[in-house]
Amino acid sequence: MSVVISPSILNCDFAHLGDELAKIANADYAHVDVMDNHFVPNLALGLPVAEAAVAASPIPVDAHLMIEDPDRWAPAYAEIGCASVTFHAEAAAAPIRLARELHAQGTRVGLALRPASAIEPYIDILPEFDMILIMTVEPGFGGQSFLESMMPKVARTRAAIENAGLETWVQVDGGISRATITQAAEAGANNFVAGSAVYRADDAYTEVEELRRLAREASHSH
């Protein structure tokens, strides 16, 4: 399964969004974190910024909606051109219906789980999703430390996907850096969201390449 690097733009300079996105042109996706100050204790980005990112980005945009009522709001992110839209299992009233609505709009669909949420209740509906996002921090703020305790959940998710014969991606988000990406890849993740690690690096482009190399090495060692 291919390694996918998705830098989060949460730590970038929004006054120069186009330039900031150009720095990660070698990544696979630009990860846009949307927070509504209800589902998570922070307010960040939203539809206008996501739309600006889609317009300015040299790579596809992956929207992660940390919001209440994604059933109502998520389709708008597909409409503005996000290539992938991820909503939280804990917030969606009708996740299957929403996944199908998003697919009908031509976008990839991800289901996100907070650290305390188990994958097991969702195993039977895995075929409805292109990606499962296992949060490796409590969602809401950038720059938090990686929760190593999530690695068994990543491994169980990967095993369930393989047992079902699916090609579903497993994304990890939170505290991903050179120090943690190998562990996440060995556990079965193939899509890595790195925010601070990329945007606080001296050279974002080089950091993306290094993260990809480390993840590929770890994936091939299995």
Among residues 195, 188, 185, the alpha carbon closest in space to that of 216 is found at 185
Give dist(CA 187, CA 123) in Å, integer. Answer: 17
Active-site annotation, residues: 33, 173
Contact 112, 136 (CB under 8 A): no
Q: How far is CA 167 from the centre of its chain?
A: 16
Give dist(CA 185, CA 199) in Å, integer. Answer: 21
| Dihedral pair phi/psi, residue 92, rounded to 5° | -85, 130
Give dist(CA 222, CA 158) in Å, integer. Answer: 13
